[in-house]
Amino acid sequence: MAKTKAHRKRKPPPPRSAAPASGGWNWKADALRAALVLLVTLGAYANSIHNGFAYDDLRAIQDNTRLEDPGDFGTFFGTSYWNWDNDVTRLYRPLTVWSWAVDQALFGPGPFGVHLVNVLGGALQAGLVYVFLLLLFRKRGLALLAALLFALHPVHTEVLANGVGRSEIAGGIFLMAGAILHVLGARRARPGRLGTLPPPLYLLGTALCLMIALLFKESAVVLPALLVLADWLVLEEGRVRPALRRLPAAAVYAVPVVAYLLLRASVIGTSLPAVQEVMIPLSAAERVLYASGTLVAYLGQLAVPWRLLCEYSDYRTPLTASLSQPVPALSLVVWIVLGFLVVRLARRRAMTPLYGIGWFWIAILPVSNLLFPIGTIRADRLLFIPSLGFTLVLAWLILLLARRWSTVAWVLAAAVLGFYGWRTVTRNPDWKSQESIWTADLAKNPGSAVGWTLLGDVRRQQGRFEEAEADYRRAFELRDRAWFYPEAHNHYAELMSRKGNVAEAKRHYRLVLSRAPGQITALINLGAILLNADSTRTEAIDLLERAVASDPANLAPRINLTQAYDNAGRLDLALETIEGAIAIAPRRPDLWTIKGIVLRKAGREADAAAADIQARRLGGL
């Protein structure tokens, strides 16, 4: 008996990976581990810093005139992400656009500053992942391994090696900062009449970080649910009643979410993004089945990230989904097995993998197409935040294996980290330019109509007209099977016009307008072709008037319409139209020059001379 009592008095030594029981830090050790995560991330993405602009970078950054003045917050907060009239993407990310303006002010208009900041931001994000996991689980080995897996995961290359990944990176930084503040506050929380609330400064800090993250990217809306899950599964170890007493904190976090939604609605309305056209024919049940199969593909890609694409749509076969197909049917089996696994983990009170699984599902659900259709059927960037759940479970499994077979576990960890790092380093150069990304992606997915269109643009700019023509034909022949693709027809028509085949150009522009009467590019370009001939000038004026009415802020149809009115001798309307253009862009010297030409034809020489002086003054600024 004495032996037993003595044995009971003995306190087992704390696990080597455990943080101090008080939750305090070993500052030197933890700083070194965080620095290691930062350096590993920087090393993995260093070869992306000298990438150029590719894909959405061209429209969002390179050609974005809003980036000229980083102090123009009215423009950043008062326009949509893309700043198009009738913007069907329905995205509102003002701080992302502002951050690119700051890049341009600091580093110039080229891509270097954008990529440098992205890589530095990605390293900071990975370091914050380590801090968050350490504070939440108090296990240094788990936090370090999961953070390294997250830092090196190749699925993040679309985010860190691409300029427009800024929204995910910055949003992720503030999401993790908010999560860290919440955990720190939750460990200092005291019971009260309103529940177990963190100290006010932590509560407000988390809410502020959430608001900033939302203004970078709307996907941060999942943070309150992730924190509620952390309170329940980790801080309260699965106990329901204590977790319920922490819910008032989540109610506070609802305030920035509501504020963001109200601000967004005031600028771009309340509509959801337009459905990607290939999903339009699907019923709700078919969409859910297809999304279920896509989620299984996501899990496979997280486990073995070999096939990485920026465009997964494959138009060689129509998009369908039914239980008779292998992927949707397999996905249901996977979810049943996962459900049994979750029950088993819950019985064993294995809260770490449960939280990882929960993190993945909560983070992926809004962009999964399960609840509602979104504008993307699949994309690597959508896995940026959800992948943390996967890397947490993977790190837990490796450490679990290490309890019995330590050597095997660490060889496995080294192999996985090595493969992830190698795949990341080799994928980064694909994002070097528009030509490199689409050449690489089309080799793996030749059914991408978007890829063939954009590669055609590159070849057209290089003067490789025959190759570009073949690319455009491939694009609309692929995509028209599923849904008419006006962009490829327009680009093809522009090329035909440039080659002198005006008849073919007009045929394709008319085809576009027969299927999409308000398509702005076809209205403008066909109008420009027709405005010089007397026999087609009336039609040209009609097309250009429709274009102006459809997109009042677009200067191109106004300039062409001015010329059409001028050619038709309707100088009063020509003057009215160019003055409308000047009202939109009063500092454009070419608009004043055109006004001077019209005034001179109208016999108003003095006014024409004044317009010419203004054009020269603005041109010399």
Q: DSSP letters of 540-580?
A: HHHHHHHHHHH-TT-HHHHHHHHHHHHHTT-HHHHHHHHHH
pLDDT digits (tens, 9 = 90+) for 578-618: 999 999 889 899 999 999 999 999 999 999 999 999 989 98
Q: What is the pTM of this model?
A: 0.88
Residue 330's Cβ-side half-sphere holds a number of Cα atoms within 13 Å equal to 10
Strands 190-192 and 195-197: antiparallel
Q: Which amino acid, one-letter code, is at 400?
A: L
Residue 250: the pLDDT is: 85
Residue 9: the pLDDT is: 46
Residue 88: the pLDDT is: 65
Beta strands in 410-454 (DSSP E): none
Residue 1: the pLDDT is: 42
Residue 5: the pLDDT is: 45
Residue ranges of the chain whose pLDDT lies below 70: 1-25, 84-89, 274-278, 280, 620-621
Please give the structure tokens belonging to residue 568. Answer: 């038709």
Q: How far is CA 470 from CA 314, 464, 498, in A?
A: 18, 10, 15
If we measure between CA atoms, which residue out of 586, 308, 259, 568 comes closest to residue 420? 308
d(CA 423, CA 421): 6
CA 124 to chain centre: 18
pLDDT digits (tens, 9 = 90+) for 49-65: 999 999 999 999 998 88
Residues pairing with 18 in the sheet = 139
Decide if 547 contacts 554 (C-beta within 8 A): yes
Domains of the chain: 546-621 (1.25.40.10)
Residue 2: the pLDDT is: 44
For residues 473, 478, 483 and 487, what is the CA-based torsion angle, rounded to 10 degrees? -30
∠ CA(367), CA(373), CA(376), 5° rounding? 60
